[in-house]
Structure 1
Amino acid sequence: MDNNTLSQIKEALNKNSSVAIAVGKNPGVDEMAAALSLYLAFLQNGKSVVVASASQPLVEHSSLVGIDKVKQDLGGSGGDLVVSFPYQEGEIEKVSYTLENGQLNIVVKSGEQGLSFSDKDVKFSHPSGSLGLLFIIGSPRITDLGSLFNPTDLKDTTVINLDNKKENQGFGDITVVSTRFSSVSEIAASLINLMNFKMDIDIAQNLMNGISAATDNFQSPETSAIAFEMVGILLRNGAQRGKPQQAPIVQNISEKQADDPFEALRKQIQQREQQMGQGQNQAQNQNRMQNNFPTQKPSQQFERQPGIGQVKIEDTEQKEDKNPPSDWLAPKIYKGSTDF
């Protein structure tokens, strides 16, 4: 944001004590967070502020501080009250009112065709009248604001356009529009910081949620340097970063296992029982085999007989004589039967 643009915004805020903030149809967390952060910042600095959306806030906006202050019109609490409902030619004969016990009753008398709308179609609003200063947040076209106001009524209104979308038409008296911003919340954070407005923890957390939503928790490659710079300021003012969501681990399990978490345990028990049953069957089979083929008794076993050339040790010991023969030392004469 250049100094010239910042000076113009400061001048517009100094001239107007009342400020209106508008977001278009179906705003994201980023756009709504930026709008509510500016709402809280202007409110703390003594401004009369109204914030409005062209559509009902969503559940994803529920964590943002100030979401309960978002209105469906920019008229504020004062001024005229307008009652609106669908109309088709011929279905309303006349409109009148009655006073009963301090209550004003508006009577819509139906024609012959009857009324085609129900109670849910009746809307109450305060006309915006002449707005002095209007911030439009994250809306590429002014027509995206729907029935919040009539664009022809903005001739005396200073319109400030804050957006980061490339399709933004560049409307307004003061524009802060650039695709170099990765979120609208970082634009709002930069503006609040440069204006030296007080940034409490509610404002800081709103802006942190907005930047996180727009940048996929800072994982997007489009996350700008300004976003990280603003995050540092927000953290110093009490904001906390959300934990990134981990991708779920997909297990290859059957639908039956997914429905019954104890199915795997049952299968293990069944396998264990089957193994035990097989062991018992094997033991029984071995017992049957032993009964059918009885073992030999020790008395029926044959003793080992010595083979040829083998002599029993006890026989050898009996034949041994401890005393040598008497002619052991006498000379020996060979005697043979062979003639030479």
Structure 2
Amino acid sequence: MEKSFKSVIDASRNILVLLPRDPNFDQVAAALSLYLAIEGKKDIAISCPSQMRVEFNRLVGVDKIGEEIGSKNMVVKFVGYPAEQIERVSYDIENQEFRLTVIPKPQHEAPQKNQVELAYSGVSADTTVLVGGERADQFPALNGGELNETKIVHIGINDITAPEGRNIISLARPSSSVSELMADYIKEIEGGFHPDIATNLLSGIHEGSDNFNKKEVNANTFKLAGELMAAGGKYTRKEEFKPRLPAQAGPQFNFPQGMIPAMQGMGPMSVPPRAMKGAKKQDDASPERDTHEAPEGESVNPPTSWLKPKIYSGNKGTSVS
């Protein structure tokens, strides 16, 4: 058995990171973090037998996960075309281009373009890292022959029993999450964390440990979380990760219920009928004006006596000028 995970990675030239069927968020976060840590230094691929769920879009690099476990060989399939209708298959090279010719039997048509399907098979990796999982049957590739020539390592919080004839190097141990384990192993091989890796691991620890509420949470869990945050890791809760909807046209009013009482038969912003009766439209920018006009032929100026000062005499309220 190898002394450490670092020695396994250092001795590998081509690595396959393999997720179990229907993985959870924590497992995907841990696997992607390992992929990002090794990418560019080794030939590496990451695969999962199940499609990724929408909630995994919070993770950096989720688009790198494919369903095929290897791309060593290309496979051409004719979907829905009876194989017994093929007479023979030949190939030749013209102008440095490879040409594959499928010749059908007499009285039969050639396969249609929409029946041609291209796929890959064959694992070129010399090391396969299983991430997560509780049972060997969650990794269908273990039951085939494609991993026969690879060294298999398992990282998880539960040991898995290797199928007959398989030898699996187990690096599993109890922990609050697979991401916490992976953080330790990435520190071992890298010495630190890139912000994208720190973000994935921090999110995985949050989700895998049930927001630090599992009984397996210990001082190392919080220490790693602090290191990941210091390295630039950010955690986005699932409920906070929502696609932006297009803005609706026009002003939007979100008044609390009861703040503007609605009148029967009218909306909350309606004007009561009495206020509208006899109302005239006025310019909002103009001050209120007296609409009374002087009768025709009369002066609008007051008499001059009105403008002279008055002296109060105390005689029955009269005044003298």
- TM class, shorter-chain normalised? 0.5 to 0.7
Match of 2:154 in 1: 161
Structure 1 pair 97–197 and aligned structure 2 pair: CA distance change class (3 A): farther
Q: What is the deviation of 1:110? A: 8.4
Whole-angstrom distance in 2 between the partners of 1:33 and 1:22:
12
| Structure 2 residue 63 is the aligned partner of structure 1 residue 68 | yes
Match of 1:10 in 2: 6
Match of 2:102 among 107, 110, 120: 107
Per-residue CA shift, 1:92-141, capped at 9, x if unaligned?
444535678846355384899999x9958935013114x31110111233
Instruction: Give the root-mean-square deviation of aligned CA atoms.
Output: 4.0
| Structure 2 residue 220 is the aligned partner of structure 1 residue 217 | no
Structure 1 pair 227–120 and aligned structure 2 pair: CA distance change class (3 A): farther
Superposed counterparts of 1:11-160, under 5 Å: 11-44=7-40, 46-76=41-71, 79-84=72-77, 92-94=85-87, 96=89, 102=97, 104-105=99-100, 107=102, 109=104, 119=114, 122-129=117-124, 131-146=125-140, 148=141, 151-160=144-153
Structure 1 pair 194–8 and aligned structure 2 pair: CA distance change class (3 A): closer
Structure 1 pair 119–227 and aligned structure 2 pair: CA distance change class (3 A): farther
Structure 1 pair 75–155 and aligned structure 2 pair: CA distance change class (3 A): closer
Structure 1 pair 134–104 and aligned structure 2 pair: CA distance change class (3 A): same
Q: Is the 8 A contact 1:22 1:134 kept in 2?
A: yes
Match of 1:310 in 2: none
Q: Is the 8 A contact 2:17 2:44 kept in 1?
A: yes
Q: Is the 8 A contact 1:74 1:149 kept in 2?
A: no
Match of 1:322 in 2: none
Structure 1 pair 194–88 and aligned structure 2 pair: CA distance change class (3 A): same
Whole-angstrom distance in 1 between the partners of 2:109 and 2:135:
38
| Structure 2 residue 166 is the aligned partner of structure 1 residue 184 | no
Whole-angstrom distance in 2 between the partners of 1:30 and 1:266:
47
Per-residue CA shift, 1:28-60, capped at 9, x if unaligned?
22111111110111125x211111111222222
Q: What is the deviation of 1:26? A: 1.9
Structure 1 gaps of 5+ residues are 247-259, 272-340
Structure 1 pair 143–238 and aligned structure 2 pair: CA distance change class (3 A): same
Match of 2:222 in 1: 228
Per-residue CA shift, 1:303-340, capped at 9, x if unaligned?
xxxxxxxxxxxxxxxxxxxxxxxxxxxxxxxxxxxxxx
| Structure 2 residue 195 is the aligned partner of structure 1 residue 201 | yes
TM-score, normalised on structure 1?
Answer: 0.59
Whole-angstrom distance in 2 between the partners of 1:214 and 1:111:
60
Q: What is the deviation of 1:160? A: 0.7
Which residue type is aligned with residue 46 of structure 2?
Answer: V
Whole-angstrom distance in 1 between the partners of 2:104 and 2:176:
54
Q: What is the deviation of 1:181? A: 1.2
Structure 1 pair 230–84 and aligned structure 2 pair: CA distance change class (3 A): farther
Q: Is the 8 A contact 2:81 2:115 kept in 1?
A: no
Q: Give the length in aligned residue pairs.
A: 249
Identity of aligned residues (%): 24
Q: Is the 8 A contact 1:161 1:170 kept in 2?
A: no
| Structure possessing the higher radius of gyration over alpha carbons | 1
Structure 1 pair 106–8 and aligned structure 2 pair: CA distance change class (3 A): farther
Structure 2 gaps of 5+ residues are 241-253, 266-321
Q: Is the 8 A contact 2:195 2:232 kept in 1?
A: yes
Structure 1 pair 149–269 and aligned structure 2 pair: CA distance change class (3 A): same
Whole-angstrom distance in 1 between the partners of 2:107 and 2:55:
45
Report the secondary structure of 1:38's partner residue: helix
